[in-house]
Amino acid sequence: MQAEQIAKALGNAKRVGKGWLASCPLPTHGQGHGDKNPSLSISDGEDGKPLFKCHSGCDQHQLFHAIRDYGLLPEIEKRDPLASIKPLPALTPQVLEHEWVYVDEDGEPLFVKQRFKTQSAKGKDYRQMRCVKQPDGTIAKFPGFRDTRLVPYRFPELLSAKTAGRTIFLTEGEKAADALVSIGVIATSAHAGSGSWPEEITQYFAGAVVIMVPDNDLAGWTYAGKVAAALIPVVKSLRILDLPVEGLTDDAWEWVNVLGGTRQALVELAKLSPLIRHEDDVTTPERLSGSTPNATNATAPGNVHQETDKTYKPFKIESWQSVKDEPVNWLIQDVIPEKSFVALYGPPASFKSFIAMDIAECIASGRPWLGKEINGTGPVLYIAGEGHGGIGARIAAIKQHHKTPDSSQLYVVRSMINLRSSVDDFTNLILAIDELVQLIGVQLRMIVIDTLARAFGGGNENSSDDMGAFIQATGKIQNRYKCSLMLLHHAGKDTTKGLRGHSSLLGAVDTQMEIMRFPETTKGLILMSKQKDGEDGQRYGFEAITVDIDRSELGLENGSSLAIKHRETISGEMEKARKGQEKAVTPDVTDKGIFASYALKALFMAMTTKSRRVPAINDQLVVTREDWKEAVNELRRRNDQEALSKRQGDDGARTFGEKLVARGIGGTYDTKEVIFVWLNQATMLKLQADPGFGGGEEHFPQKEV
């Protein structure tokens, strides 16, 4: 029935727009007085069915039934209310195919990884459950890791293999690891699958001999690159073995159980496997270049949100009211914090190496340093990149003056090591330190690098890339051994501007110690110009004193070196020292004569190519008078002039040497066996900046005599 017919049947019908108005049929309408003014809207719906609405607010359900009772609506077919509900598809329960148990050193379960067979496109699903020991001794399993300790698969066997120096094969999954174990080798894997490498387990591979065995797909080799990046800084050696399998995604399980791989065959393949020194050394085989990564585990490039097997630990978010500062743990009280990155710097001949060795001896022996207590003695490694020819004399002087106990653990590397760009040097240093730590059985308290220039591999100190690479390398060393790291460095030509080189170095260090030597003395100050966890501006006085060394037991002539002693500071000393460093000395180069006209430039040349340090002259950089005379003759030859006779050279050097002292630009020293001459630091800096004297980078090949 149409809306018009229904409206006319109800009475008071009136057309309104596309619909009709009529009287509401409910007896309760208008508080029982009926609908005198039509208030029921009636219209035809799109499906032909009438639509009703009473504008006085009558109940829609009652309205529908009242109109139907008037016979104005057709009978509605009764429907089964459950007829439209479709039955759910039959549930196929997941079937547990395998469970791998991860245990601690003592074999106690920590967590399990379960693999289920499913009807999904992947065909399998993984779950990880933590193990909790119950009061009755049983093990209960709960979803998620929470604070569970993460370890590699077959952890106890890995530790035993490391101790015995045996090779550890590292696979992508537990099934492949079990297959290799079945033929008699040590194998392990991580719980996270190929999506990522869990950083928490890297520490357990320190000092290990590892061979990676990737799955035969792009995902497997991509994963191998991630593993290499994590393990290279810590392992003793790392190789990658490309198993001769046939099918895409095959791994060690197929190689052992389908192709009949044996232990002997694996050993032969391992001998041919390439050594991996950098993650870029992991190159995907050409046969896989056109393959599709395993969709089960691979993470699409650029999609960091794709689901993987990795278990994530959320960052801890704290209310600012709950944040409290943690107390600073000091290695040297108020001077050097534990596990800090320290820069000790100053101009040439400011006793940097002597002060650094003094700090190292204090930490190793427990002797207070310049009046400050050592909080926990321990081993120190000193990497002597320069001046190592005479480091024995320095050690002897320190031990003799301070009566250092023989039990003090101070170790020295006498090599120039390129930490900026040489993978070989970095790896060899890590191997050497690992062996030392294993030998002494305790962790290092500090590593000293003397100096940045000698560990920089010829890089550009002002380059952000070069300095960044160096900082990254030293950071890896420091993080690996969880100790403080002290770096010796030079001040710039303008000593007021601090550390030489790119500013990223200053940004990286936690503590900066500036050495200021008083002019013409062996005294000075050490200023704490940056202290991340303490108070800036603290200063400590020192004096370098000469110590005569008895070397008769070695069949050598007695010698001397320097030792550092504490000196109380006096008010105003820092300002005096700063002014002394800033004072510019203008050399007088107006001398005439067959020797004097070349004397200054020749001495500068000799100082930049043949200088050496003499501890007996307060560790002064010097050259011999013979080297100076030869440099004068070299300049004369370049100007087509004859070389001076011995007498002319001796007379000229003696006369000009007196002028060096008188003008305050250098000095001389006669040992009765050899005469040393030198230009002082301020003069050298001035001449380095003068294009007429060559300028260029500061370079002092240093020896000790």
pLDDT tens-digit map of 75-124 = 655 556 555 555 655 556 678 889 999 999 999 999 999 988 877 666 78
Between CA 351 and CA 509 the distance in angstroms is: 21
265-276 pLDDT, tens digit each: 999 999 889 999
Which region, left, alpha or beta, applies to residue 533 given φ > 0 means left and ψ of -120 to 50 means alpha? alpha
Range in 106-115, 370-379, 488-497, 511-520 with the lowest mean pLDDT: 488-497
Cα torsion angle, 166, 172, 175, 179, sign? negative
Q: Mapping DSSP to helix (H, G, I), strand (E, B) and coil, where does residue 487 land?
A: strand
The pLDDT assigned to 299 comes to: 37
Residues 6+ apart with CB under 8 A from 298: 194, 195, 217, 218, 219, 222
Angle between helix axes 391-402 and 352-365 (nearest 10 degrees) is 50
Tell me which H or E stretch contains 18: none
pLDDT at residue 302 greater than cutoff 70: no
Between CA 336 and CA 512 the distance in angstroms is: 9
Rounded to a whole number of angstroms, the CA Rg of the chain reads: 42
Q: What's the whole-number mean pLDDT along residues 121-148?
A: 86
The pLDDT assigned to 84 comes to: 56
Paired with 95 in beta bridges are 117
**Higher-confidence residue: 611 or 179?**
179
Does residue 27 contact residue 13 with C-beta atoms inside 8 Å? no
- Most confident region among 384-393, 486-495, 585-594, 622-631 by mean pLDDT: 622-631
- Most confident region among 62-76, 86-100, 606-620 by mean pLDDT: 606-620
Does residue 451 have a cis bond before it (omega within 30 degrees)?
A: yes
Between CA 341 and CA 478 the distance in angstroms is: 8
Q: Mapping DSSP to helix (H, G, I), strand (E, B) and coil, where does residue 260 land?
A: coil
Between CA 485 and CA 2 the distance in angstroms is: 93
Q: How many residues does the chain have?
A: 705
Tell me which H or E stretch contains 315: none
pLDDT at residue 289 greater than cutoff 80: no
pLDDT at residue 508 greater than cutoff 90: yes
DSSP states along 405-432: -TT--EEEE-S---TTT-HHHHHHHHHH
- Most confident region among 192-201, 315-324, 494-503, 568-577 by mean pLDDT: 192-201
143-187 pLDDT, tens digit each: 888 789 999 999 999 999 999 999 999 999 999 999 999 999 999
Range in 162-166, 252-256, 651-655 with the lowest mean pLDDT: 651-655
**Higher-confidence residue: 606 or 590?**
606
The pLDDT assigned to 53 comes to: 86
Residues 6+ apart with CB under 8 A from 58: 24, 26, 28, 29
Banded pLDDT at 570 (limits 50, 70, 90): low
**Higher-confidence residue: 353 or 326?**
353
Domains and CATH numbers, the chain: 3-69 (no CATH), 150-286 (3.40.1360.10), 330-581 (3.40.50.300), 584-693 (1.10.10)
Cα torsion angle, 503, 505, 506, 507, sign? positive
Does residue 330 contact residue 337 with C-beta atoms inside 8 Å? yes
What is the bridge-based pairing of β-strands 511-517 and 341-346? parallel
* Phi, psi dihedrals of residue 337, rounded to the nearest 5°: -75, 155
pLDDT at residue 562 greater than cutoff 50: yes
Does residue 271 contact residue 246 with C-beta atoms inside 8 Å? no
Between CA 466 and CA 459 the distance in angstroms is: 6
Nearest to 496 by CA among 580, 620, 619, 587: 580
Between CA 640 and CA 624 the distance in angstroms is: 25
Distance spanning both ends of the chain, measured CA to CA: 121
Task: Flag whether the pTM goes above 0.75.
Answer: no
pLDDT at residue 670 greater than cutoff 60: yes
**Higher-confidence residue: 595 or 63?**
63
Nearest to 531 by CA among 275, 671, 342: 342
Q: What's the whole-number mean pLDDT along residues 410-434?
A: 91
If you search the block for the tokens 């603290």, which residue do you land on?
538
What is the 3 state secondary structure string of 627-676? Answer: HHHHHHHHHHHHCCCCCCCHHHHHHHHHHHHHHHHHHCCEEEEECCCCEE
Banded pLDDT at 703 (limits 50, 70, 90): very low
The pLDDT assigned to 30 comes to: 64
509-532 pLDDT, tens digit each: 999 999 988 877 888 999 999 998
Q: What's the whole-number mean pLDDT along residues 269-298?
A: 74
* Phi, psi dihedrals of residue 664, rounded to the nearest 5°: 70, 25
The pLDDT assigned to 556 comes to: 53
Between CA 372 and CA 622 the distance in angstroms is: 34
Range in 209-218, 221-230, 569-578 with the lowest mean pLDDT: 569-578
Angle between helix axes 625-638 and 596-610 (nearest 10 degrees) is 120
Q: What's the whole-number mean pLDDT along residues 51-59?
A: 84
SS3 content of the chain, % helix, strand, coil (to 5): 35, 25, 45
Q: Mapping DSSP to helix (H, G, I), strand (E, B) and coil, where does residue 396 land?
A: helix
Banded pLDDT at 1 (limits 50, 70, 90): low
The pLDDT assigned to 571 comes to: 57
pLDDT at residue 626 greater than cutoff 60: yes
Angle between helix axes 464-481 and 423-440 (nearest 10 degrees) is 20
Between CA 51 and CA 174 the distance in angstroms is: 67
Q: State what percent of residues in the chain have pLDDT above 70.
A: 83
Does residue 397 contact residue 562 with C-beta atoms inside 8 Å? yes
* Phi, psi dihedrals of residue 536, rounded to the nearest 5°: -70, 160
- Most confident region among 452-456, 557-561, 671-675 by mean pLDDT: 452-456
Does residue 549 contact residue 571 with C-beta atoms inside 8 Å? no
- As a whole number, the mean pLDDT across the chain is 82
Banded pLDDT at 204 (limits 50, 70, 90): very high
Banded pLDDT at 54 (limits 50, 70, 90): confident
DSSP states along 223-268: HHHHHHHHHTTT-SEEEE------STT--HHHHHHTS---HHHHHH
Tell me which H or E stretch contains 386: none
**Higher-confidence residue: 389 or 287?**
287
Between CA 294 and CA 299 the distance in angstroms is: 9
Q: Mapping DSSP to helix (H, G, I), strand (E, B) and coil, where does residue 404 land?
A: coil
Task: Count the Cβ atoms, other than its own, within 10 Å of residue 529.
Answer: 18
Q: Mapping DSSP to helix (H, G, I), strand (E, B) and coil, where does residue 129 land?
A: strand
Between CA 482 and CA 480 the distance in angstroms is: 6
Does residue 125 contact residue 116 with C-beta atoms inside 8 Å? yes
10-28 pLDDT, tens digit each: 888 888 888 888 888 887 7
Between CA 68 and CA 56 the distance in angstroms is: 20
